[in-house]
Every structure is written in structure tokens, then in C-alpha cells.
Chain A
């Protein structure tokens, strides 16, 4: 008998043993959870510890009422897992859910409701919001419907890229917002396919990692608010309200109406990988779309409320997330759920990493107490499938747990460095007393990440949550009126400065200063040690008109206007500047060294790995009134020294409103300083292309204008 014959042999368990609800079935297998195609049928498996009865509810795709309900016989139950194989189903026209019966006793944590049809927590795809924003039937008995997925995508040889974390330049973007604007010119605006058409732009920009705002299925229509002026519906545009954790958002797929969102998203990941770009997903495990006791029952609440949510001893929902409920992340069953989910996205979607929204919640015990050694985080850090994925924590939550610098990390976790953001903003704005902190932040924040590498620090100045970079230099205050909450939402501590006029300005002086301040911050970001993250659109001056919380704005406020990239309204100067800065970072490994600099010469080069300078070389001025800092990096120390060659780099920041004459640190014999950029000087795109920087005319001094950054390269003149 040949090997092929053996693989084609039928399975002995591929035959039904009885009929339930008109369907031929047999006892299923508890693993894997969810709906799995098996020879001749589908294996359904669902967990509920406290349910007294469980049924599988089957629909024909789009039908108002179920086709059948199949109660799981007691003997189809293993432990608290109900499993059944159903034969003869048409997978493409099938939607399924569960109906669980059990006690309704909120004080004891039980909220079973047999009137509801519940989504499968492990559903691989979900229908119901197939086309973004399309008005649904609000009386649907089962609005978000689980579906079975054909998961045999042909990846070829693709695999997660495993780019070293410290070599990443992350680009944070929103699948819909990136190409939804009519100016994008893509075939299917606002979709995975649309983003795929823009890969060449990302490649040209030079980023090697995209971080996508949530792509797990959510309901963009779950926002009850309307625009106070137009009366139009406000959306849940960002999507931080997960309906189904294993399912890619159908409304982000041009093919979502055909149920092909998984293939479309996988195809996007595959193409990004082909272009050398990693994919990090922003994941929201701290809460679900079910809200508090007044929210909808979608899945978890009806399957096993007490398992999935953190409850007070009176059965009320803890609200550490600020959204009504808190996922009970360190319950063993939920840990298993989170781990399986992440493994699934890595194994099946080839995802390169995750950014965990309000990650501090992941280290809280079921009663909300922060754990010193949270089992979930430890497990994720050591999991074999996740071994080389990037794990990035937003290391705080909405209930005051702030862990930047001390998030339990097991040598694996990185963090969004909120202190980096605030320090750079305040320094550039011109606040006093920050030279010392700026130096620490540019060196990878060794004060926060002692004993960890610099890649623990994801450095950013702007992110989706807050001002864009352009707005950061154009507004002193947030302008969130369009969100319908009387400008009461969004952060107030923005450390922004409008450069003299609030909002759009006709003054050439104001506009010049804004461009310079923008460049200053980008220059600091891309020469700091750690992992830089850029907010999509900042490279071209994207504005949200001062709105710093556009979570609900599915319109021009949020969408990337491609007129900023090309055409008469393009911000070519800023865009080319950003591209060159990114290229500069890629060209200089000394900026991407994993270990924190120590301030000593570790390779015998005669120079410390990092040295600090002021108006006078070798004399940093840490005084309160000082607003000038020079940083020199010794290229011989690049990547720890001895493996790659690099030049010396000198970065000087002048946040003062007056110019300063800087004395430059001397170089080894035969080397001279060359000018890469001076944000205050007139030159084409504000810089010289990396590798062809001209030699400074005066070798020992540099006149740095007000509010300016200069970057010099120390090397032999070609």
C-alpha cells in the first residue's frame, strides 16, 4: 500500500452515530475548541462550567430564524466541554451559535440567559458586519454570527520575519483610515486589499513594521453618540471593543461580504512580509464589547460570566478598563483562551508581534490585585509558538495601575514608553529643567529599563491616541467638539505648543517654526536608542484639526489624505525629510544597539559609547535653564562593537529661542564632521542624503539656530 493510499483512507470516526434535530451527529472531540472541519462534517466544541444545558444553533447564512437547534446530550460532554460532530453541513452557507441554559444569579456571578444565541469565543470568522457601516437589522436575534473557516491558505514559504526588535521602525496605522480617503486611489478604499496596494509607499518610506489598530471583529456601530452639528452617526472607528477574538474584521475586507476576510488579510500579511515589513497587531484583551450588566450579551457573559470577567464579591463587574467590564485574564481558563488566540494569530496569520492595549490589566488577579508574578504574562513570554514574536505592553490601565519601567517582562516584553513621549514633547516645547531627562530618554531610558535591553523601550512622540505630530505643533488645546461630549473627552496633558497661533496659520513665521519643530521631534525620535514608532501620516503632516481623541471619527478627520503625499497640497519637504531620517537610522547600526550605552569606552576606541556635550564639547549643561544637549555616539561601539562598522554620530538639540555656537567634540585623526541635517538651515528637503553628507567647513564649531536640531556624521572624507 502506498503512502497516498494510507492518507486517503477514510476515518473510522467519520460516520454518524445518531440523529439530533434532523442532523446526523456523533460525540465530538473537546479539542480544538470552536468549529473545526473534519471528514464529512464539522466538530463543534464549547466550554461552559456552569451551564445546565447547551445547544448548537444552526442558521442558513443570513436567515432570520435558526434552521435547527441541536442539544448536546450529556454523554457528549467531557468535563465542562460540550463537543459534537455534525455531518452534512454546507460550510459556506452555515452560521452557528450556542444557546446555554443555567442559573441567573448575578450575585453568584451567573448570568445565563437561554433566550440569547451566543457567539463562539473561538469563531474563526464572524458575519453580521460584513460591510463597514452598513445599516443592519437591529432586531436580528443573532447579530454577530460565528462561521466556519476554510483555513487552508497557501502561504508558500512565508514565515514571520524575526527582524531584531531594536532594528524596527514601527508605523502605527489603521486599516480603514490608511486608504479610505478618496485620494488614496486604491481599488477598494479602506480595506486590507487597499493597504496591500500601498505597500510600495511603506517600503519607500522605509518602515519595516506596521502596527495595526485592532483588527479583531468589532462592531463599528456600537457607538450611541452622534455628531453635535451634523447629527450624523459617530462610529466606533478605532475598534477597541472586541466582539470576537479569533476573527479578522470582516468590514475591513473588500471581500467581507463573501466571507473571505481571512484570505484577504492573510494575503496582505504575506505581501508585507515579501516587502520586508513585519505586522504587529494591537490587541485588546482587557475588556470585551459586552460592557457592564446593561451591555449586550454576545458570548462570554452567557457562556460563563464568572469565568471570563472579574467580578466583585457581589457579582458586579470590575471596571479597570474604563469600558464597563474587565477580562479575568489570570483565570486559568481565560489564560488558556488568550494564549490560544495569540498562538492562532501567529501560526495561522503569520503575525510578527502584538501590542497589548491597557496591558497592566493582564497582571491583575481575579479580584483585581496586581500580581508580582502574573502567570499569563509569564506564559506568553515563554510560549514556544510566540517565542520570537514582539510583545509590546501599553503598561498602564484605566484604574491607576501605571507600570512603565516595571511591567513584569521576563526579559521579553517591550513597553510603549509614555515617559519618552512626554519628555521629548516638553523639551522641544522649550520647558526648562529637562536636559538630563532628554539624555536619558535618547539613550534608551536605562533608568526605566535597567537590566533589560534598549528594545524594551518603544519610543514614540505621537500615537493614534492623542494629537498628530502636526497638531502637536499647531494647537495648545484639544478641540474635540465633534466627538459630541462638549470637548470633555480626550487627554488634557498634551505638552503641545501651537508656535504662536491656534490652528491653521497664514503666518510664514509660524508655519516655518511648526515645520522645524516637527522635524526636531522626528530627528530626536529616529536617533534615540530603543524602537521608534511613527504615527501614520505624521511623515506628511496629517492633521485632525486639534482633535486628540478621534476614536469615533470615521471621516476626513482620521483618514490619511494622500494629497499630503502627492500633488499640489503635498508636504514633500517633510515627507522626504522623514524618509531620509529613517534611511539614516537603518544606515547607522550604532543607533540601533540593543545594550544600553554606559558612558565608558568598551572597545578601546578612545571614545565612550555615548558622550554628552553642551555649548562646549565634553561639558554637558544639566542646569535648570539649559536647553541645549549634544549627544555623540561612537560608531566602534555599534551593536556591541567588533561586528559592524559605523561612523560617529553627533546630534545636538537646541530648544532655546536663541541660536548657540556649539563647540564640536574632536574626532580621531583622519575623520571629520559631515552635515546630515540641520532643521534650521535651508537645504533641499532639509538634509543631505545619507552617505553623501558634505564636510563641515569649520571643523570644530557649529552655529545652531533657535529651535533646531543638527545631526553630524564623523568619518573620513570620501
Chain B
């Protein structure tokens, strides 16, 4: 299982669309791919619509990226969380850290 990363811009913000599973095998590479988008003052939306599962290591990766963003006063929003991903994040307390945002244009189009 891998995680696919695609990006595009929607106005001033960068949208990162992820597809696949975020687990211990994929999360290291994912972190390396995400961090370059986190710049001072940037606005990033991570679309998790295509993510079926986020493991313990995966949640940590997302939180680490979020922490980097905080250091740089960048803003990260997660969107498109499946019910299960959202529940796991809420049960483990990870959800509390994130800004959970509106659907992206892709989601609204029923991608």
C-alpha cells in the first residue's frame, strides 16, 4: 500500500490531495513530501478523502507536519476525513490539535 500525493492551488492556498493509507511504511516518505509546502505564512489544505486508514505512525506524521506549520505560522487544515479516520483521531485525541475544514472543490464535485 502506498500513499499518492497530488497538489494544486486554489486561490492563495495549496491543496494537497492524498490517496491511500498513511502508515509506518508510507508516512516517512509522506512527511518528506509535505514539509516543502509548509512555508512561513502559507495556507495548506490536506484533503484526506482518498485516505482509507491512518495508523498511529500516520497520525504522528500529520501532527509533526502540523507542528512544523505552527513554528512557521503557516496554517494547515484537514478535510475529507472518512468517518472511521475521524473517529480514530477523536478517540486518540489527535483531532483536538487540527483545524478541520470545508470540503475542497474536488470533493464538492464528487470526485
Q: Which residues of A approach B to under 8 Å, CB–CB?
A: 90-93, 150, 152-154, 187-188, 191-193, 196, 253-255, 258-260, 263-264, 266-267, 270-271
Contacts and interface: CB of A to CB of B under 8 A. Distances in A.
A260 B95 CA distance: 14
A150 B60 contact: yes
Contacts of A193: 90-91
Contacts of A150: 56-57, 60
20 contacts: A92-B57, A150-B60, A152-B60, A154-B93, A188-B91, A193-B90, A254-B87, A254-B91, A255-B88, A258-B55, A260-B91, A260-B92, A263-B56, A263-B59, A263-B94, A264-B93, A266-B93, A267-B91, A267-B92, A267-B93
Contact of B24 (A90, A263, A270, A271): A90
Contacts of A267: 91-93
A92 B93 contact: no
A150 B92 CA distance: 13
A8 to B, nearest CB: 14
B82 interface: no
B9 to A, nearest CB: 30
A398 B94 CA distance: 43
**Interface size class of chain B, counting residues whose CB lies under 8 Å from the partner chain:** 10 to 19
B22 to A, nearest CB: 11
A483 B57 CA distance: 43
B52 interface: no
Given A90-B25, A92-B24, A154-B63, A258 B93 contact: no
A258 B56 contact: yes
Contacts of A91: 24, 57
Contacts of A254: 87, 91
Contacts of B59: 260, 263
Given A91-B57, A93-B24, A150-B56, A270 B93 contact: yes
Contacts of A263: 56, 59, 92-94
A419 B89 CA distance: 46
A260 B24 contact: no
A91 B60 CA distance: 13
Nearest to B92: A263
B55 A92 contact: yes
* Chain B interface, DSSP helix/strand/loop, else mixed: helix
B23 interface: yes
B91 A264 contact: yes
A255 B55 CA distance: 10
A153 B93 CA distance: 9
Interface string B1-43: 0000000000000000000000111000000000000000000
Contacts of A264: 91-93
Given A92-B56, A154-B97, A258-B55, 10 more contacts: A91-B24, A92-B23, A92-B57, A188-B87, A253-B91, A255-B88, A259-B56, A260-B88, A260-B91, A260-B92
Closest 10 CB pairs of A and B: A267-B93, A193-B91, A263-B92, A92-B24, A254-B91, A264-B91, A264-B92, A260-B92, A255-B91, A260-B56
A191 B88 CA distance: 12
A189 to B, nearest CB: 12
Contacts of A154: 63, 93, 97
A254 B56 CA distance: 14
B94 to A, nearest CB: 7
B69 to A, nearest CB: 14
Contacts of A271: 93
Nearest to A94: B24
A642 to B, nearest CB: 43
A192 B91 contact: yes
Nearest to A187: B87
A631 to B, nearest CB: 45
A266 B97 CA distance: 15
Contacts of B60: 150, 152
Best-surrounded residue of B25, B55, B56, B92 (most CB of chain A within 10 A): B92
A583 B12 CA distance: 53
A42 to B, nearest CB: 12
Interface in B79-111: 87-88, 90-94, 97
A33 B72 CA distance: 38
A270 B92 CA distance: 11
Nearest to A267: B93
A258 B88 contact: yes
Best-surrounded residue of A92, A152, A253, A264 (most CB of chain B within 10 A): A92
Contacts of B55: 92, 258-259
Nearest to B96: A267
A191 B97 CA distance: 22
A148 to B, nearest CB: 10
B95 to A, nearest CB: 9
A91 B92 CA distance: 19
A255 B97 contact: no
A92 B92 CA distance: 16
Contacts of A266: 93
Contacts of B23: 92
Nearest to B58: A92
Contacts of B57: 91-92, 150
A154 to B, nearest CB: 7
Best-surrounded residue of A192, A253, A259, A263 (most CB of chain B within 10 A): A263
